[in-house]
Amino acid sequence: MQNDSGFTFVLFGGTGDLAMRKILPALFEAHKGGMLADAGKIVGIARDSYDRAGYLAWVEQHVRAHVAAADFDESVWQSFLNRFEYAALDLSRRDDFVLLRDMLKELPAAVRVFYLATGPSLFVPTCRALASVGLNAGARIVLEKPLGYDLASSNAINDAVGEIFAEEQIYRIDHYLGKESVQNLLALRFGNVLFEPLWRREWVESIQITIAEELGVEARGDFYNQTGALRDMVQNHLLQLLSIVAMEPPHAIESDSVRDEKLRVLRSLKPVQRSEISKVAVRGQYHAGVIRGNPVPGYASEHGVPKDSTTETFVALKVEIENWRWAGVPFFLRTGKRLADRVAEIVVNFRQVPHSALGGLPAGQNRLVIRLQPNESIRLYCQAKQPGEGWNLAQVHLDLAFDQFFKEHRMEAYQRLLLDVINGRLALFVRRDEQEAAWRWVEPILDEWAASPLKGPKPYAAGTWGPAAASAMLAQHGTCWLEEEN
């Protein structure tokens, strides 16, 4: 559905990698689908001294490779480029922001969005510069992760930005929350009576949440070495997914109703005692190995990474939620680079039947597997009788493959989230108190690892599923990761 309100989308970092690979392709898909108002404008902002024609040439060169080629229409592409303006801007020069203000006055719009596709160190100076020329009034500001390095730095950024923009103006983006399958997780839970009675400790044995990547750190070695997997993936993506899986039914699918329930989960996470961290947290670092037949280097050999780095590229955690619904149910979280496959999934393992009247049960149990990537699907595993004589049971599954069932175009995560910003929908964005609760929970683990550099991360070969200690942690609870069952 097209948004009829005119908008101006101002993109700081307008020549950067994120803008080229994700943001502008997503806006093009929304444009192609007729979801953007005809009066909407996109203003690229960067230090480069382009004029408008030069910027369009840059977009032509770097964005077209990231848009779908199957039904590409040159006339649609050209009409998309007609939305663009460009402004060269130096953050240290107030006069540049005066010129930006004057440009935006010529682009009257009901909605003005400032998207900061920059490093977090530029968030506060950019917001202050916008406020110095009055551009904060009524605008929406989008902040990319990472928002800080720890709780203190996150609070410092939020405090400074919060002095300039009200909380309802701030959109902290987590692209995992924009995935179609995450929306379907909400629909599955709160649109069907079937699962709600089972979605609790009496019937759920354990839950696994995995985000695995085949890629290494690529050209981000210097950044990643200062960040690590716990900050890069757990504090935001994994804890957000956990909160959606475990939350109570919201009053409505509205911004604060959903975010209030997620916050209750994050505040119910059992605090991690530093003396127990070695039992509930595993960190690893990939060494050289082979992925899909191709040799790949170890982390310490990547560009920008010190040879003696102790930064973790893999994390596995056992998490508990201290409330009536989930008390005693372990949640196992896992993420890593250079793993055996690229996959993001949620596995809900239900308890075994208390007594089998049909004899021995085959390996496996009732479980629900929600695949977030690469192919979004939901699969329910159950037991069925094999054809023939006797009562031989086998595990079978019921599939909902979204790309086969729904023939409509499915939005990518960034497309949905950018449309939500333009339309003023906050439900899929992270509120400040959620972010604080997540940082507060992970900080003891960060502190303990920083205080114990000699212990370091456990090695694992690229192309495997991480260090053996991650499997041993689950074995202590009588379970295993999904891929190990087979």
Annotated binding site: 47, 90-91, 145, 175, 179, 213, 232, 337
Distance separating alpha carbons of residues 160 and 154, to the nearest angstrom? 10
* Section 131-158 average pLDDT: 93
How many residues are listed for the chain in this entry?
486
Whether 477 is a known active-site residue: answer no
339-361 per-position pLDDT tens digit: 999 999 999 999 988 877 776 65
Confidence check: pLDDT of 315 > 90: yes
Lowest mean pLDDT among 168-177, 232-241, 333-342, 449-458: 449-458
With a CB cutoff of 8 Å and minimum separation 6, the contacts of 56 are 81, 84, 86
DSSP-derived letter for residue 441 is H
* Section 299-310 average pLDDT: 93
Q: What is the DSSP string of 365-413?
A: --EEEEEEESS-EEEEEEEEEPSSSS--EEEEEEEEEHHHH--SPPPPH
Identity (one letter) of the amino acid at 312? E
- How many CB atoms lie under 10 A from the CB of residue 412? 19
Q: What is the percentage of the chain residues whose pLDDT exceeds 70?
A: 96
**pLDDT given at position 168:** 95
Q: Which segments within 258-365 are labelled E, that is strand?
A: 281-287, 289-291, 294-296, 314-319, 331-336, 343-350
Question: Please, which pLDDT band fits residue 401 given cuts at 50, 70 and 90?
Answer: confident
Mean pLDDT of the chain: 91
Annotated binding site for substrate: 175, 179, 213, 232, 337
Identity (one letter) of the amino acid at 20? M
Annotated binding site for NADP(+): 47, 90-91, 145
Distance separating alpha carbons of residues 127 and 161, to the nearest angstrom? 7
* β-sheet bridge partners, residue 315: 283, 335
* β-sheet bridge partners, residue 140: 113
- How many CB atoms lie under 10 A from the CB of residue 143? 24
* Section 162-172 average pLDDT: 97
* Section 44-52 average pLDDT: 92
The CATH class of the 177-411+457-484 domain is alpha beta
Residue with more model confidence, 185 or 71 = 185
227-274 per-position pLDDT tens digit: 999 999 999 999 999 999 999 999 888 778 999 999 999 999 999 998
Candidate list 237, 303, 397, 477, residue with the active-site label: 237
6-29 per-position pLDDT tens digit: 999 999 999 999 999 999 999 999
Contact 400, 371 (CB under 8 A): no
Question: Please, which pLDDT band fits residue 407 given cuts at 50, 70 and 90?
Answer: low
Q: What is the pTM of this model?
A: 0.92
Where do we find the tokens 């021995």?
360
* Section 418-428 average pLDDT: 94
Where do we find the tokens 């040799």?
295
Question: Please, which pLDDT band fits residue 52 given cuts at 50, 70 and 90?
Answer: very high
- In terms of CATH, what superfamily is 7-144? NAD(P)-binding Rossmann-like Domain (3.40.50.720)
Contact 238, 442 (CB under 8 A): no
Burial profile 114-137: b = 16 or more Cβ within 10 angstroms, e = fewer: bbbbbebeebbebbbbbbebebbe
* Section 94-104 average pLDDT: 94
Domain limits of the chain?
A: 7-144, 177-411+457-484
Helix/strand/coil for 115: strand
**pLDDT given at position 1:** 47
Confidence check: pLDDT of 187 > 90: no
Phi and psi torsions of 385, nearest 5°:
-75, 135
Identity (one letter) of the amino acid at 439? W
Distance separating alpha carbons of residues 452 and 307, to the nearest angstrom? 18
